[in-house]
Amino acid sequence: MVYSENIKNDLKTGKTVLGIEFGSTRIKAVLITKNNVPIADGNYEWENRYENNIWTYSTEDIWKGLQNAYAQMALDIKTKYGIILNTIGAIGFSGMMHGYMAFNKSDKLLTPFRTWRNTMTKEASEKLTEEFQYNIPQRWSIAHLYQAILNGEEHVKDIAFLSRLAGYVHWKITGKKVVGVGEASGMFPIDTKTNDFDKCMINKFDKLIENKKYSWKLSEIIPNVLIAGENAGILTEEGSKLLDISGNLKAGIPICPPEGDAGTGMTATNSIKKCTGNVSAGTSIFAMIVLEKELSKVYPEIDIVTTPTGNLVGMVHCNNCTSDLNAWINIFKEFLESFGIKEDINKLFEILYNKALEGDSECGGLLAYNYFSGEHVTGFEEGRPLFVRTPESKFNLANFMRMNLFTSFASLKIGLDIMLKKEKVKVERIFGHGGLFKTKGVGQRIMTAAINAPVHIMETAGEGGAWGIALLASYMLNKKDGETLEEYLSNKVFSEQVGEEMLPNKKDVEGFNIFIERYKNGMPIEKAAIENI
């Protein structure tokens, strides 16, 4: 039990911690106590735009969203406890992993923010993977940079700083050009012996582009790398005005290294230790498995990244998860409203998700591709959402909903099968978190069928990445000498956490295996749609 007087004291004495994460559809601010319990939050809904063949967010939306999320959180505190927030113990910023933000010497953004959703760097990705003998996915910052070079883009010669969303926000708030090692590992390969960008590969890249005669070297334009627990700067006077437009928040607050949503997801599910993993399922879906050792070879389907502490992680990242599923839910909502029926959207999700559990194990012959954008795991640079059936298919609501949930996990399964089956990667626990798991027992059951392994859902799974980055800030502020992040999370955060583990159902597993073969065999349908629509 968290008592109001204790919370008020924490608020007045600056013993709280704030985490803010820029997700793909929501910016969320979460304030936690010194005991890591959330006490207030604020949200701002936003959507990426497809402009001039680029998936992007504007800088105006970034700052508007940050300020609105913070203001809502501060109002939540004032409403609940009658306190105007003017000090905080520590702050952390997180953002959706991957992408490309390039700035010149005047700190001007040289090209619209290119998000994780863009799949336009295939040539660069393949050439760098060959050059480094290390998988360089299309989403990585270095792939975007090299593709811009290959394309002869004018802005490249003027680059003075290269970052991503979390690093950009942190830079403007603190004046420090740094990123956490987990976030850094999706920009450029990391040397896990030094927890820094791999110097050998940096030299290879500089040599690769030396004929271009740019005024910069790669090491001069990328941020410095920090690990969890290190101080990454303080809230400056300018930063406090950017964050809190009311002017109440005082400068000088310590800030932890900025991390990507992959790192905050691992933190929020206590999946930092080796042989643990987590699956985050929302607009995109990705699985993170903390490895005991390196994989035997390079796989284009698997990113090699790190935890916020620098441990190796095998990551399967898929661009598409719930966007098409959500679109169908909204169609049902619109249908009901046409009859004058107003139903809570959360209730609608719950009813329709549970309907999926009544369907045939393999979805009655139905097939769908949820590709709003390209999907590198299956080799597509563009996407076309598709629903396909034969005259013999059993087309009913239960099978339709089950199919949409199955296809949300399908690309992930293809990638995970490489690690779990081909590489025999050991996983003792897998945690699920994100919007797809909010309806109790449904997303969890579908995931157990997809990976044929137990899936654990914690009660705090819904807290998400904003809570995860708050925990990283809390660790920086409150850790004892020599205390590792793994120890801090296990002993101070999750020691009394209650969760639920679900074992795979044999019939569900068999059904998903039939569905995934149908899915693979139907790939030419998706290809034809892209070519003709």
Q: Which of 262, 291, 287, 263 is nearest to 275 (CA)?
A: 291
Position 291 in a domain? no
**Do 293 and 127 touch, CB atoms closer than 8 A?**
no
Please check whether residue 200 lies inside any domain of the structure: no
Residue whose pair of structure tokens reads 């796989």 in the numeric block: 299
Length of the chain in terms of residues written: 533
* Among candidate residues 235, 377, 403, the one with its CA nearest the CA of residue 320: 377
- Cα angle, residue 42 at apex, residues 39 and 43 outer, rounded to 5°: 140
Kindly compute the dihedral angle of the four CA atoms of residues 17, 22, 28, 29, in this order, to the nearest 10 degrees: 20
168: in domain: no
Contacts (Cβ under 8 Å, ≥6 apart) of 98: 115, 116, 137, 139, 140, 141, 164, 186, 260, 317
Structural domain includes residue 367: yes
CA distance 325 to 348: 12
Tens-level pLDDT at each residue, the chain (533 residues): 345 788 998 898 899 999 999 998 899 999 999 989 999 999 999 988 999 989 999 999 999 999 999 999 999 999 999 999 999 999 999 998 889 999 999 999 999 999 988 888 999 999 999 999 999 999 899 999 999 999 999 999 999 999 999 999 999 999 999 999 999 999 999 999 999 999 999 999 999 999 999 999 999 999 999 999 999 999 999 999 999 999 999 999 999 999 998 899 899 889 899 999 999 888 889 899 999 999 999 998 999 999 999 999 999 989 899 999 999 999 999 999 999 999 899 999 999 999 999 999 999 999 999 999 899 899 898 999 999 999 999 999 999 999 999 999 999 999 999 999 999 999 888 998 878 888 889 999 999 999 998 899 876 655 678 999 999 999 999 999 999 999 999 999 988 766 788 999 999 999 999 999 999 999 999 999 999 99
Residue 201: per-residue pLDDT: 98
Q: Look up residue 504 and give its DSSP letter.
A: P
CA–centroid distance for 356 within its chain: 26
Is residue 45 included in any domain, yes or no?
Answer: no
Place of tokens 């029926």: 341
Q: Which domain holds residue 514?
A: 323-408+506-532
Which tokens belong to 58? 């504007």
Any domain includes 183: no
What pLDDT shows up at residue 457?
Answer: 87
Q: Is residue 392 part of a domain?
A: yes
| Number of domains composing the chain | 1
Residue 125: both structure tokens together: 């990705």
**DSSP β-ladder status, 367-369 and 386-388:** antiparallel
SS3 56: strand
Residue 75 lies inside a defined structural domain of this protein: no
